[in-house]
Structure 1
Amino acid sequence: MEHDDDVYHTTELAQKNWNRVINVAATAGYREGIETGKQSVFQEGFDIGYEEAFQTAFALGRYKGLAIAMAGSHQSQFHIDNILEQTRHGACQICIAESKKNRCDEEEFVEPPLQKVRDAQRKYSMKILGALEEMFDTPLRELGRQLDDIRL
């Protein structure tokens, strides 16, 4: 009988240890899965943002080069220079949101969802690039050129 009690207690102790090991492994696996998922999402978001920012910066660089090359040759020069100067300091919507956050009382500030910030950035970039394209269209046509004709 005593032998049966020892076996029962040993089995019970082994089961408790096994459950503890399983719980620790499951918790560690869960944490690792969350971390891997976060890194994957962050990397994907970074890659998308980097590509969009590069394309926008490349287009802005093209327009800045045109503005320098055509300096004083058309009436919209001041307006073009003004738009390009604004982009020189960046038009990062995340930076604008952070600036608003720093100026507000923490409790009053509601942080916008990342998708909303990203959409605002795209909208702003497209607005600036569209305005520049419109401003350069006439002077380039007068020269018999299009923006796509200009090689870097």
Structure 2
Amino acid sequence: MDPDSPWEENPDMNHVPEAEWTRIASEFTNAGYREGIIAGKEEFLQAGFDAGFADVGVPLGRELGHLRGVAAAIRAQI
């Protein structure tokens, strides 16, 4: 056994208490969960925006522009 090896069990060394280990594991779990939520929101938010823009925003904007152009032409003739 190599006494300098970090893999050897040494009963004289202070180990991280169970409560501390649980807290650290919980923090890493929570951080991973938050990162996953953020990544999921970003991915689906963009996809939802793209679909809404293409299916609703552009057609409505085009129609509104057309109607404004017609109204402007009629107004110019008065």
TM-score category by the smaller chain?
0.5 to 0.7
- Hey, what does 2:24 align to over in structure 1? 25
Aligned-partner Cα distance in 1 for 2:45–2:16: 45
Q: Which runs of 4+ in 1 moved over 4 A?
A: none
Q: TM-score, normalised by structure 1?
A: 0.33
Q: Could you tell me which residue of structure 2 aligns to residue 59 of structure 1?
A: 59
Deviation digits for residues 62-110 of structure 1 (CA, Å, limit 9, x no counterpart): 1112233345xxxxxxxxxxxxxxxxxxxxxxxxxxxxxxxxxxxxxxx
Query: What does residue range 1-152 of structure 1 map to in structure 2 within 5 Å?
Result: 11=11, 14-15=14-15, 17=17, 19-55=18-54, 56-70=56-70
Aligned-partner Cα distance in 1 for 2:16–2:28: 20
In structure 2, C-alpha distance between the alignment counterparts of 1:22 and 1:43, rounded to whole Å: 32
Larger relative contact order, structure 1 or 2 (CA cutoff 8 Å, min sep 6): 1
2:16 & 2:34 partners in 1: Cα distance? Answer: 29
Q: Sequence identity of aligned pairs in percent?
A: 18
Q: Which amino acid aligns with 1:69?
A: G
Distance in 2 of aligned mates of 1:39 and 1:51: 18
Gaps of 5+ in 1: 1-10, 72-152
Q: TM-score, length-normalised on structure 2?
A: 0.57
Query: Aligned partners of 2:16 and 2:24: how far apart in 1?
Result: 14
Rg larger for = 2
Distance 2:23 2:12 in 1: 18
In 1, the alpha carbon distance for the partners of 2:16 and 2:58 equals 62
Unaligned runs of 5+ in 2: 1-10, 72-78
**AA matched with 2:34:** E
C-alpha root-mean-square deviation of aligned residues, in Å? 2.5
What is the distance in 2 between the residues matched to 1:16 and 1:46? 41
Aligned to 1:101: none
